[in-house]
Amino acid sequence: MENWEKYKSALNSLLKSGESLNTEKRIKAAAIINTFLTEEFGIEAILVGGLATEVYTEGGYRTRDIDMVSTGQNAYNALIQLGFSVSKGGMVAQLTYRNSGLFIEFPSSQLEDADKKRVANVVVSEDYYFKIIGLEDLLLDRIRGILYHGRTENQEAVIRMIIKQRNNIDWPYLLKNLTDSSELETFNYLYHLSESPQNMDLNELVEKQRIKRNITVPASFMISRALNEQILMFLLSRKSEVVAWYALFVEYDDSISLTESKTKKTFADLSDIFSVFIDFEDELITKEQLAEELYGFLVRKFNNYLGIVVN
């Protein structure tokens, strides 16, 4: 118990009465709490929820409390010994530290619908650290909260996380775990909102520009133009027919023209992902023929509709 004083002192210094709690202070408090639970009780705690969103948005999204996944009652009892008190009962009890305005909840005893291997360690200082749910699993959780629990505030959270972490997201993992079309459509909509308003909605375009071939694209593969190429490559590995839609999107840009050599090479490279022969409208054709078909379609359909000049 002698070691506990350093945790109390750290919290007291951080949470001075009357001072507002900003993102930095909540993150430091989470680190102190996690280190206390881990080092003194051997209790694992993982940051989830709103504060995890604050971390990934670098303060661009604000929350009021700290949510952690841990062995609930044991964690509650440990924190009460540290000086926390129960501020609200119910299905999920809420703890507060004196009159600081800091609240903490343990909504679950385990990390649900998430890959524990993706949990990240965040070192706040030489003495304090915390664990946080993986970025992709947090995005999935926020999306499902919108769909299944009516948490509309999650829309802002998802958009801000995409904006801040666009280059760090593991797109194949994320796409693989959007398990039905409604989840993917919701993500697509929010991703679209995270982009420049000048970018067009390709879902609408897909409906207007169906390929006149025996190729069908499930609704779950209707994706926004600017998604990272990793996503598109992942889709290609799952469904061969998506190669046709990739061909429509990958070379399109509002401000540039297409060159025949560049476009044909792109299609040929895509065809390499598959075997030499692909079943295309009840025919077996080579990948080179497929590339020609895709290029021809792009020229016919997009030249007029999008005003693209093909040199």
* Spatial distance between the Cα atoms of 88 and 125, rounded to a whole number of angstroms: 31
pTM score of the predicted model: 0.64
Strand partners, 96: 85, 103
pLDDT for 4 equals: 84
Short-list 159, 158, 114, CA closest to 134: 114
- What's the burial of 168, exposed, middle or buried (CB within 10 Å: 0-12/13-18/19+)? exposed
- HSE of 224, CA atoms in CB hemisphere, 13 A: 22
- HSE of 28, CA atoms in CB hemisphere, 13 A: 15
Burial 195-224 (b: 16+ CB within 10 A, else e): beeeeeebeebbeebebeeebebeebbbbb
Helices (H) and strands (E) in the chain, counts: 13, 9
All domains of the chain, ordered by start, with CATH? 4-133 (3.30.460)
C-alpha separations of 8 from 3, 120, 197 in Å: 9, 25, 49
pLDDT mean by block of 10 residues, the chain; 311 residues: 83 79 90 94 93 90 86 82 81 80 86 90 92 96 89 86 88 82 80 57 37 31 36 41 43 39 49 39 49 52 41 35
pLDDT for 99 equals: 78
